[in-house]
Chains A and B, each alone.
Chain A
Amino acid sequence: MGSHILGLQESRAPSAPSGLTVRGLHKTYGQDVQALHDVDLHAGEGEFVTLLGPSGSGKTTLLMLIGGFDTPTRGTIFQGSADITAVPPERRNFGVVFQNYALFPHMTVRRNVAYPLAARRVARAKREGRVKDALSLVGLEDMEDRRPAELSGGQQQRVALARALVYQPSVLLLDEPLGALDRSLRERMQTELQRLHKQTGVTFLYVTHDQEEALTMSDRIAVLRLGQIEQVGTPQDLYERPATEFVATFLGLANRFHCRVLQVRRGVAEIQLSFGARAAIPCADNTLRPGMAALVVVRPEELVIADSEAQDGLELQGSIEEVAFTGTIWRYRVRTREGVVQAHSICRLEAAAGDAIWIRWSARDSWAIPAGSAPAEPASP
């Protein structure tokens, strides 16, 4: 369907498989600034993969290396089975959308979008139709004669997308493309990008530091930290089964309770929490060993606030410090002897600030990870 919309009935050339593989990628600047360390990543054909990480995690460096704008210190980049590490950017046939869109200011929208076609020596007569198709794909039909400066941020974004898709690239690289837009526009563009992804079938490699954006749009997310990939998985994988404390805290809020591993069976760890309780908590294979210090991760929405002790399962006594209403949920900050705990509830509870309560959760809804990695910087709540 995508090919059709872009004005080419023929399907994608089979000789250019768009699966992308990065193997053992290192990038060092100068003597000692290591931007990327031993990165392995695969994006399947037509997949939407997000590189997620805080600033300085190397996600943009990785994207620039894949785009061919910089050469890796070590490692290989494959497209399908072809080594493209040394191929210059103008011959990779990737589309790139930059954060500031990088539209050519001296050209009209039409000339901007026709630029890659002209560079590919597409006949002048054919260009017009393909430019129109690409612009209608992003919903910008009547703006062909405007200059970028005459467009709003969202419209510029769409032109950048049209320009990067008009030549049917095998891969689209997006570097924080929504970073400069306001919140409501950003949400609309997220939907728009997902639609474009489905419609064109192009492999999307998307860089963002916004975890919500990553969770909403991606097929899979690669979390980067300090130039290394911390974990790769589906949004649900990362949220429910984070590999490290960093991933747990970077994607959403995570309550962590210290514990010690007593025994490990397949996928379940018998642990003793620092406040005494024992439980069998799900965990990933080969991550925990008996005797290790570990963390039990519980998402705020898995915590239940009760006014009395139940004496079965996991529970902690505490007092409510703060209640906040966000529009969709109620947020409770609860002070316990294990520190401050966050609990979310979709309905208002009888409890108010200052009340002594019990928080309770089930072992099933928790997840055990090794202790010792660092949490993410306090992100925006």
Chain B
Amino acid sequence: MTARARRAPMYTPGRVFVMLLPFLAVLAIGFALPLVKAVGDSLSAGDGFAASYSALLDDPVFWDILLRTIRTAALISVICVVIGYPTAELIAGAPARVRPVLLALVIVPFWSSVVARTYGWFGVFVKDGVIDSVAGLFGGGPQRMLYSELAVVVGMVHVLLPILVLPLYAAVRNYDERLSLASLSLGGGRMRTLFLVKLPVLAPSILAATTGIFVIALGFFVTPALLGGPDSQLMSNLVSQQVLQRYDLPRAQAMSIVLLLAALAALALSAGAYNLLKRRLA
């Protein structure tokens, strides 16, 4: 074989770097620089090092909203799994001809604008909206659901559900159904098979998908802004308020960074748990 016949590898590290340059530039200008600047500004603003942080940590309202954000994100993640896993099972188990239709029912909303979908719920919860009309049929009065925490949770579950269903569907499809058949043949009933065999085997995938939902929910803005009231604002709404209404940029930056740290902590915890689960399976 001659040297000419051997083709040079198409993707040398140098070429890959050149091809990645536009992406890296956008990432640097749009993400890394602002982040570094936000960290720097938030640490140096006011009198003394990290003054905006200590002010923040002394503010009970901040703690309230941070905990509410984490609680809401956790609640949404749990609701999404409880609804999303059976949905994924249903789609994966559907006849081959029906499956694409069911998948489309999940994907099409996923492709639609979050604002539009949230406004859909607005019409449901608003005074004299769908819920009030239905309640009226049964003699009930206005339900005052708009601007409640419930409205925020329902809206966010709806928006985030596809992001959970799609990876879970893939995981269920990849699951070796013979494990369940083996469990049945060994005398394990349907419940034992589900809880002691199938779910433990799927656990890493479920954990990964749920962590995704949790982290996205932590920073969610549009739905709580539109459907939530003053008592159901989440961290991102508070940040926006600091910027747009109080012009307190360092405080907003400090809040964002605390939120970012919370998300990173969640990811780290989840990654640890994931590795633990994976090791049990490997």
Chain B residues positioned under 8 Å from A92 (CB to CB): 185
Q: Is there an interface contact between A90 and B184, defined as CB atoms closer than 8 Å?
A: yes
A119 within 8 A of B: yes
Task: Knowing A67-B185, A90-B184, say if A106 contacts B178 (CB, 8 Å).
Answer: no
Q: Is there an interface contact between A104 and B197, defined as CB atoms closer than 8 Å?
A: yes
Could you tell me the distance between the alpha carbons of A167 and B201 in the complex, rounded to whole angstroms? Answer: 24
Task: Knowing A69-B181, A89-B181, A100-B176, say if A163 contacts B186 (CB, 8 Å).
Answer: yes
CB-nearest residue of chain A to B277: A106
Q: Is there an interface contact between B189 and A90, defined as CB atoms closer than 8 Å?
A: yes
Q: Is there an interface contact between A115 and B183, defined as CB atoms closer than 8 Å?
A: yes
A164 within 8 A of B: yes
Could you tell me the distance between the alpha carbons of A89 and B187 in the complex, rounded to whole angstroms? Answer: 7
* Residue among A106, A147, A149, A173 making CB contact with B200, cutoff 8 Å: A106
* Residue among B179, B187, B203 making CB contact with A104, cutoff 8 Å: B179
Task: Knowing A104-B197, A106-B201, say if A96 contacts B185 (CB, 8 Å).
Answer: yes
B280 within 8 A of A: yes
Q: How far is the CB of B39 from chain A (nearest CB, A)?
A: 41
B19 within 8 A of A: no
Chain B residues positioned under 8 Å from A95 (CB to CB): 185-186
CB-nearest residue of chain A to B181: A69
* Residue among A93, A98, A102, A147 making CB contact with B187, cutoff 8 Å: A93
- The residue in B185, B188, B200, B280 that gathers the most chain A C-beta atoms within 10 A of its C-beta is B185
A94 within 8 A of B: yes
Q: Is there an interface contact between A100 and B178, defined as CB atoms closer than 8 Å?
A: yes
Could you tell me the distance between the alpha carbons of A169 and B116 in the complex, rounded to whole angstroms? Answer: 59
Could you tell me the distance between the alpha carbons of A181 and B178 in the complex, rounded to whole angstroms? Answer: 19
Could you tell me the distance between the alpha carbons of A100 and B179 in the complex, rounded to whole angstroms? Answer: 10
How many chain B residues have a CB neighbour from A under 8 Å? 22
Q: Is there an interface contact between B186 and A106, defined as CB atoms closer than 8 Å?
A: no
Chain B residues positioned under 8 Å from A105 (CB to CB): 201, 280-282
Per-residue A-contact encoding for B178-208, CB less than 8 Å = 1, 0 else: 1101111111111010001100110100000
Q: Is there an interface contact between A98 and B192, defined as CB atoms closer than 8 Å?
A: no
- The residue in A92, A93, A96 that gathers the most chain B C-beta atoms within 10 A of its C-beta is A96
A337 within 8 A of B: no
Per-residue B-contact encoding for A80-102, CB less than 8 Å = 1, 0 else: 00000000111111111010101
Per-residue B-contact encoding for A243-256, CB less than 8 Å = 1, 0 else: 00000000000000
Chain A residues positioned under 8 Å from B281 (CB to CB): 105-106, 149
Could you tell me the distance between the alpha carbons of A331 and B176 in the complex, rounded to whole angstroms? Answer: 44
Task: Knowing A90-B184, A104-B197, say if A119 contacts B178 (CB, 8 Å).
Answer: no
Could you tell me the distance between the alpha carbons of A58 and B201 in the complex, rounded to whole angstroms? Answer: 30
Q: Which of A78-136 contact B (CB under 8 A)?
A: 88-96, 98, 100, 102-106, 115-116, 119-120
Chain A residues positioned under 8 Å from B190 (CB to CB): 90
CB-nearest residue of chain B to A167: B187
Interface of B is mostly: helix
How many chain A residues have a CB neighbour from B under 8 Å? 29
Q: Is there an interface contact between A98 and B200, defined as CB atoms closer than 8 Å?
A: no
Q: Is there an interface contact between B282 and A149, defined as CB atoms closer than 8 Å?
A: yes
- The residue in A88, A102, A173 that gathers the most chain B C-beta atoms within 10 A of its C-beta is A102
Q: Is there an interface contact between A116 and B184, defined as CB atoms closer than 8 Å?
A: no
Could you tell me the distance between the alpha carbons of A44 and B183 in the complex, rounded to whole angstroms? Answer: 26
Could you tell me the distance between the alpha carbons of A101 and B179 in the complex, rounded to whole angstroms? Answer: 9
Task: Knowing A89-B184, A90-B184, A149-B282, say if A102 contacts B189 (CB, 8 Å).
Answer: no
Q: Which of B250-277 contact A (CB under 8 A)?
A: none
Per-residue A-contact encoding for B155-190, CB less than 8 Å = 1, 0 else: 000000000000000000000101101111111111
CB-nearest residue of chain B to A104: B197
Chain A residues positioned under 8 Å from B197 (CB to CB): 104
* Residue among B179, B188, B192, B200 making CB contact with A102, cutoff 8 Å: B179
Q: Is there an interface contact between A119 and B201, defined as CB atoms closer than 8 Å?
A: no
Could you tell me the distance between the alpha carbons of A77 and B218 in the complex, rounded to whole angstroms? Answer: 56
Q: How far is the CB of A107 from chain B (nearest CB, A)?
A: 8
CB-nearest residue of chain B to A92: B185
- The residue in B178, B183, B186, B196 that gathers the most chain A C-beta atoms within 10 A of its C-beta is B186
Q: Which of A155-206 contact B (CB under 8 A)?
A: 163-164, 167, 173
Chain B residues positioned under 8 Å from A94 (CB to CB): 185
Per-residue B-contact encoding for A136-154, CB less than 8 Å = 1, 0 else: 0000000000010100000
Q: Is there an interface contact between A90 and B188, defined as CB atoms closer than 8 Å?
A: yes
Chain A residues positioned under 8 Å from B185 (CB to CB): 67-69, 89-90, 92, 94-96, 164, 173
Q: Is there an interface contact between A88 and B184, defined as CB atoms closer than 8 Å?
A: yes
Which B positions have Cβ atoms within 8 angstroms of A?
A: 176, 178-179, 181-190, 192, 196-197, 200-201, 203, 280-282
Which A positions have Cβ atoms within 8 angstroms of B?
A: 67-69, 88-96, 98, 100, 102-106, 115-116, 119-120, 147, 149, 163-164, 167, 173
10 pairs, A vs B, C-beta closer than 8 Å: A95-B186, A98-B181, A100-B176, A100-B178, A103-B182, A106-B200, A119-B186, A119-B189, A149-B282, A164-B185
Besides A90-B185, A98-B181, A102-B182, 9 new A-B residue pairs in contact (Cβ under 8 A), listed by A number: A67-B185, A95-B186, A96-B185, A106-B203, A115-B183, A119-B186, A119-B192, A149-B282, A164-B186
